[in-house]
A and B are shown apart, each in its own frame.
Chain A
Amino acid sequence: MTDSSSTHPWQDPDQKPYIRIENVTKKFGDFTAIDNLSLDIYKSEFFSLLGPSGCGKTTLLRMLAGFENVTDGRILVDGEDMSDIPPHLRPINMMFQSYALFPHMTVEKNIAFGLKQDKLPDDVINQRVEEMLELVELTKFAKRKPNQLSGGQSQRVALARSLAKSPKLLLLDEPLGALDKRLREQTQFELMDIQEKLEVTFVIVTHDQEEAMTVSSRIGVMESGNLIQVATPTEIYEAPVNKDVADFIGDVNLLKGIYKGKDKEGTQLLSEDSNSIVYATQEVEAELEDTIWFAIRPEKLEISKRKPSNDINVLQGVIEDAEF
């Protein structure tokens, strides 16, 4: 039980959330970017906000950082209401999508910038900067200016800078968006390593579902200013809450059917395409004869020339086309 509460704090009613977003609404003029959203995020989580562009995920992140005011509702960090606290006084650091490195400062000055604001003694700052440079393996580049760095190096400087002040909460806005695929995959694991090592709470915004699936402890899937589903990657993959989530996460075959009740084999559906009964493991809240959508992950399909021995969920078909 203790094990489960440390890895799944959201299942433990005794755990206090580290970030509490309470009925937050954000309006830009007439446009509602965030619509009455509530969410709890726990300590040391790697939480991903996932959704298409324009769904409000970046707005939510910017409200956590303090760059946008909350129109309605409130945000608590470690029990403290953040509403009237300007960004420079929040115990939160952010890694920007554009990295936002100061172009007139060297790598080490960029990393030291946050520490200098705390008026720490020089030797403490220098030591911390060295630690950070080692962490992101950029010691050799300490004296370079941002325009002399590659995309991957800039990304690591931005990460080092945002981690230098040992924030309890780090916000990452599309941190890997500007990297190519190979570098992105490598950096994902580096991020996870760093997050585990430093035990920082990470909230990451991404539109890349693969990235979210790989790195997150939990994912919040967003659409037009609302959270549609908040769950672990496995839960979201295996039991998406609706058709949009299913479609957004991973490859999927989406089919329409009619709900025919349930029995010991599972939920019974009459598939419109094959005109046969399909059994699903998921339960659904629906009336008999309702039209519902169901999804089959491609890797859960087995194909064979001979008829399988079991009777349920077996369909006959003709191979029309094949591609690698």
Chain B
Amino acid sequence: MDTKDKKHNFLKRIFNGRNAVISIPYLWLLLLFLFPFVIVLKISLAQPIIAMPPYTPLFSWGDSLWPKIQAGLDSYLFLFSDSLYIKAYLSSIKIATISTILTLIVGYAIAYSIARAPKRWRGILLMLVILPFWTSFLIRVYAWIGILKTEGLLNLALMTIGIIDKPLIIMNTDLAVYIGIVYSYLPFMILPLYANLEKMDMSLLEAAADLGCRPIKTFWSVTIPLSMPGIMAGCFLVFIPVVGEFVIPDLLGGTKTLMIGKVLWGEFFYNRDWPVASAVAIIMLLLLVVPIILYQKSQEKAMK
């Protein structure tokens, strides 16, 4: 009787409404993140074969009672044997870092102006930042081809005004990739920065001025340190997805633009080497775990 009661209470505690609600995001993560991740991990440990699917199974039953586990780190070893992959990782991180800094500079200026605009304008200005999201990302990146190409809108405009006589070669260079990334990821930078700058106590800026601080110095010694949580959030929201970016370097970049997303795509579709492609993805994830943890830490600090 007693034990039955206890058991009943225990079950009730697990299956109450509160836990049910909390479990939804966990289930979501389990199904849509952890499960696919385990599949990719499994493929990365297999060997490529010409078959459907194009990799060896993890378990095979021969004559023995127990399944034989076929797993190896061959794909990973391959990644480190060919300098292409390391170069691609480094190049991705370089491109992501530079474009994050560029996005931060442009995004901070925009977020700051919106946060300091008259209240009735802020909603509209913010809307203008978000509005392009209503169009397909792919179409917006394609549109940049029309602007940047040799006989594109930008060159046409500059030549008409007479600033240049020869068209600028922007298309299919790293510059075009930077332009595309800064443009596409700007809202991810602006929104967290705006949320931070908008709630900043204006009397702090007045206090700084009152104590003899020039406006430009106030910006560096008060505004920037206080918007650090917004800067961190914006930078990580841009940096992390840009490292694995594929569409922008593929459409706007040249053959020399080396990014891990493009390499991954090539392994997967041209070489049909799923295990190496999976290993590339796993290593990329491990590389990104570092900034993700840093991001979490900075968020925790900001919450305090």
Contacts and interface: CB of A to CB of B under 8 A. Distances in A.
A binds B: yes
Interface of A: 65-67, 86-89, 92-94, 96, 98, 100-104, 113-114, 117-118, 161-162, 165
A165 B207 CA distance: 13
Interface in B187-215: 201, 203-204, 206-215
A166 to B, nearest CB: 12
B67 interface: no
A103 B226 contact: yes
Contacts of A66: 209
- In the complex, which of the residues A67, A86, A114, A117 has the most CB atoms of chain B within 10 Å of its own CB atom? A117
A113 B225 CA distance: 14
B109 interface: no
Contacts of B207: 94, 96, 100-102
Indicate the member of B211, B215, B222, B226 with the most A CB atoms within 10 Å: B211
B210 A94 contact: yes
Nearest to A86: B209
Given A94-B207, A103-B226, A114-B212, 11 more contacts: A65-B206, A87-B206, A88-B213, A93-B210, A94-B210, A96-B203, A102-B208, A103-B204, A113-B211, A114-B213, A118-B212
Given A96-B206, A98-B201, A104 B226 contact: yes
A165 to B, nearest CB: 7
A98 B209 contact: no
A98 B203 contact: yes
Contacts of A162: 210-211
Contacts of A93: 210-211
Nearest to B212: A117
20 contacts: A66-B209, A67-B209, A86-B209, A88-B208, A88-B209, A88-B210, A88-B214, A94-B210, A96-B203, A96-B206, A98-B201, A100-B201, A101-B207, A102-B207, A103-B226, A104-B226, A113-B211, A114-B213, A117-B211, A118-B212
Most buried by A among B209, B212, B213, B214: B212
Contacts of A101: 207
A100 B203 contact: yes
A113 B207 CA distance: 10
Contacts of A94: 206-207, 210
Interface residues of B, number: 17
Given A86-B209, A87-B209, A100 B204 contact: yes
A100 B206 contact: yes
A67 B206 contact: yes
Contact of B211 (A86, A103, A104, A114): A114
Nearest to A118: B212
Contacts of B222: 102
B152 to A, nearest CB: 46
B214 to A, nearest CB: 6
B212 A165 contact: yes
A87 B210 contact: yes
Contact of A65 (B210, B215, B226): B210
A115 to B, nearest CB: 9
B213 A117 contact: yes
Interface string B7-25: 0000000000000000000
Nearest to B207: A100
B201 A161 contact: no
A108 to B, nearest CB: 14
B209 A102 contact: no
A113 B226 contact: no
A98 B204 CA distance: 9
Shortest 8 CB-CB distances between A and B: which pairs? A114-B211, A117-B212, A100-B207, A100-B203, A87-B209, A88-B209, A104-B225, A94-B210
Of the candidates B201, B207, B226, the one having the most CB atoms from chain A within 10 angstroms of its own CB is B207
A31 B276 CA distance: 71
Given A103-B226, A104-B225, A104-B226, A88 B212 contact: yes
A284 to B, nearest CB: 44
Contacts of B214: 88, 117
